[in-house]
Amino acid sequence: MIRKNDSYPLQPPRERGTGRAVALAVLMHLLLGLFLYHGIHWQNSTPAGEEAELWTEVPDLSTPKPLPPPAPVAPTPAPPPPQTEDADIALQQQKRKQQEAAREAQLAEQQRLKQQQEAEAKRQQQLAAQQAAQLAAQQKAQKLKQQQQQQQEQQQAAAEKQKQQEQQQEALKKQQQEDQQKQAKLDAQKKADAEKAAKAKAQADAQAKKLDAERRARIAQMQGSMGGGEGSSGNGLAKSGTGSGSGGNATSPGYADKVRRRVRPNIVWAGETSGLETEISVRCSPTGTLLSASITRSSGNASWDDAALRAVQRSDPMPVDTDGKTPSSFKITLRPAG
């Protein structure tokens, strides 16, 4: 069983029989070296040759001799087999076998190296594939982590944005409530002021009626005591002057100037000025609050009449007289400055 190393999870497994293969390869190389050495040493040695001397008798030709009877011919022995040639052939066969064995050993070694290289290449490919798979898994995990982080950031941003929107809505709602409360207070204040003004107007009207009744009573009494003389004419109101304003009855001589100084700055008019004169009737409370203003005599120019009426309305409150009170009613005659 192959042990797995925790430090190197991608280490390839060991192959069995590696030491035995290395030992056989070394042994084959040693045998091949011995065969080659003996073969070369045998070829370098010179084979020993054999020498033979042949002697023949020289005949004496000076005296003829009788020929001897022919001797029986002995059978010629067969030459021995050439031992040297057989040895060379055997040696060459042995050498050839050694060469073939060496070639086979070399081929086997080459085949083993080739198989080992192929196995190493296959192992490297497997290792590269494992590393690529691990790298792809790491990249995928990192990408997934980044996506999750981005999703969390987007969710946090959306939550923060929603929170800000809710805060803005709450602030807007609170502001609207405050505005409504302020508007309600203003409406209540206006209503109270209107009621107060109406009450003051009613009081002023009642007082004016009372004063008018008293005045009429005094005038009637004076007329009765004077016997109905010619000195009395009209209703006792002062005639309108030619200035900016004229006071009613019981006004000081300088009150018309006060009215003129109050109304004149509020006149806004850029049209023609010749022949325009408007008379406006004014009713005020004793404190000077303007109760009503109406045109009693028009100038014939509606635009100038509106400008004069607006000037009087803008002059609220009217000035008080020397007695600290404002006349209840009087008329103001206005002409454009020119």
Q: What's the pLDDT score for residue 190?
A: 77
Q: What's the pLDDT score for residue 218?
A: 59
Q: What is the DSSP letter of 82?
A: -
Q: What's the pLDDT score for residue 229?
A: 34
Quick: pLDDT tens for 283-303.
999 999 999 999 999 989 999
Q: What is the DSSP letter of 246?
A: B
Closest CA to 330 of 276, 294, 277, 306: 294
Indicate the pLDDT class of residue 223, thresholds 50, 70 and 90.
very low
315, pLDDT greater than 60: yes
Average pLDDT over every residue of 49-73: 58
Indicate the pLDDT class of residue 305, thresholds 50, 70 and 90.
very high
CATH number of 241-334: 3.30.1150.10
Indicate the pLDDT class of residue 186, thresholds 50, 70 and 90.
confident
The verdict on whether omega for the bond into residue 317 sits within 30 degrees of 0, i.e. cis, is yes
Q: What's the pLDDT score for residue 198?
A: 73
**Number of residues that this document lists for the chain:** 338
Quote the tokens at residue 216: 């009429």
Domain spans in the chain, listed from the N-terminal domain onward: 167-225, 241-334
Quick: pLDDT tens for 190-207.
787 778 767 766 776 676
Buried b (16+ CB within 10 A) or exposed e, 235-244: eeebebeeeb
User: What pTM, to 2 d.p., does this model score?
Assistant: 0.30
Q: What is the DSSP letter of 301?
A: -
Separation of alpha carbons 247 and 327, rounded Å: 8
Average pLDDT over every residue of 84-103: 83
CA 237 to chain centre: 82
Quick: pLDDT tens for 239-279.
333 334 444 445 788 888 899 899 989 999 888 888 889 99
Q: Which residue has the tokens 């400055």?
A: 337
Least confident stretch, 1-5, 6-10, 57-61, 148-152: 1-5
Quote the tokens at residue 79: 């030459």
Question: Which class for 28: exposed (0-12), middle (13-18), buried (19 or more C-beta within 10 A)?
Answer: middle
- Contact between residue 287 and residue 279 where contact means Cβ atoms under 8 Å apart: no
Average pLDDT over every residue of 76-95: 69
| Residue that wins the pLDDT comparison between 65 and 22 | 22
61, pLDDT greater than 70: no
- Taking CA atoms, 311 is separated from 96, 183, 330, in Å, by 144, 29, 16
108, pLDDT greater than 60: yes
Indicate the pLDDT class of residue 230, thresholds 50, 70 and 90.
very low
Least confident stretch, 128-132, 224-228, 311-315: 224-228
